[in-house]
Amino acid sequence: MQLNLHNPLDQCQLKFASDEKTGEFEGYASVFNSNDAVNDSIVPGAFAKSILSGRIPRLFVNHKHGDIPPGSWTDLKEDDHGLWGRGSINLDIEKGRELHSAMQRGDMDGLSIGFTMGDGDFSRKDAGGRIIKNVDLREISVVTFPCEPGARISAVKAEIEGFMTLKDYENYLREVGGFSKSMATAIVSQIAKVARSDSGANERQMTGKAGAGVLAMIENMKTKL
């Protein structure tokens, strides 16, 4: 399951190439050793494996993976500041021209990364949040609100509403909440019992009360996300 992490607005340093008609732009998609809205931090070297793999992450707008990418990333590298990237907007399609105009006007001026990671790719902070040491970088989005705390909760809600099985919730708690497999299974099993007793819902269709239960629990544990 993909996680999203927003780069603080004042750290993006987005700018267009000298010839704006090419659609080329550059900026920082992530900054090292900063704290995001839920106290997560990424350390230098976290993107090294993804860059060395040669797999280029996709370029989207606001993490809308179902849309046609309005451009592509052409160059990525880590430096002392963070993950720097150069992208090229496809001005031959309407979505590309719309994005180009919005970025030139300053209506969209942030970047956000989408990635996955395993159990050994991060450690917990004593005060809550995570120190992220390695990520599998999947995409980098141009976003409207790169440092909006509410955007993360909205993303959580959207993901949960699309879940269809108990396993979806277990995986979410493990990957996003950092719970062990046994703890995630126990939590979801208890929520399933409550949902069945309240409404008699089928155990395999958990997008109703069970989903609301998981969302409420996660929102009450923001320091763990």
What tens digit of pLDDT does each residue of 123-132 get? Answer: 999 888 889 9
Q: What is the span of the domain harbouring residue 78?
A: 3-147
Query: Where among 147, 168, 184 does a domain terminate?
Result: 147
Same-domain pairing of 142 and 35: yes
Gap between the Cα atoms of 174 and 168, Å rounded: 10
Gap between the Cα atoms of 209 and 211, Å rounded: 5
Same-domain pairing of 23 and 100: yes
What's the pTM value of the predicted model, to 2 decimals? 0.61
Gap between the Cα atoms of 225 and 218, Å rounded: 7
Same-domain pairing of 56 and 138: yes
Question: Residue 222 has what pLDDT?
Answer: 39
**Farthest-apart Cα atoms in the chain, separation:** 63
**AA letter at 105:** R
φ/ψ of residue 98, rounded to 5: -65, -45
**CA torsion angle for 197, 201, 205, 206 (degrees, to 10)?**
-40
Same-domain pairing of 37 and 116: yes
The DSSP secondary-structure symbol of 61 reads E
Same-domain pairing of 46 and 99: yes
The set of residues, in sequence order, having a beta carbon less than 8 Å from that of 108 and lying 6+ positions away, is: 61, 99, 102, 142, 143, 144
Gap between the Cα atoms of 138 and 8, Å rounded: 19
Which among 112, 141, 159, 170 is annotated as catalytic? 112
Same-domain pairing of 12 and 111: yes
Domains held by the chain: number: 2
63 an active-site residue? Answer: yes
Signed CA dihedral, 91, 17, 43, 56: sign only: positive
Residue in the block written with tokens 């031959």: 92
pLDDT bucket at 13, cuts 50 / 70 / 90: low
3-state secondary structure of 70: coil
Evaluate if residue 119 carries a pLDDT over 70: yes
139 an active-site residue? Answer: yes
Same-domain pairing of 58 and 166: no
197 an active-site residue? Answer: no
Gap between the Cα atoms of 197 and 50, Å rounded: 46
Q: pLDDT: is 148 or 185 the higher one?
A: 185
Which among 24, 139, 159, 170 is annotated as catalytic? 139
What tens digit of pLDDT does each residue of 145-165 get? Answer: 764 443 344 445 445 656 677
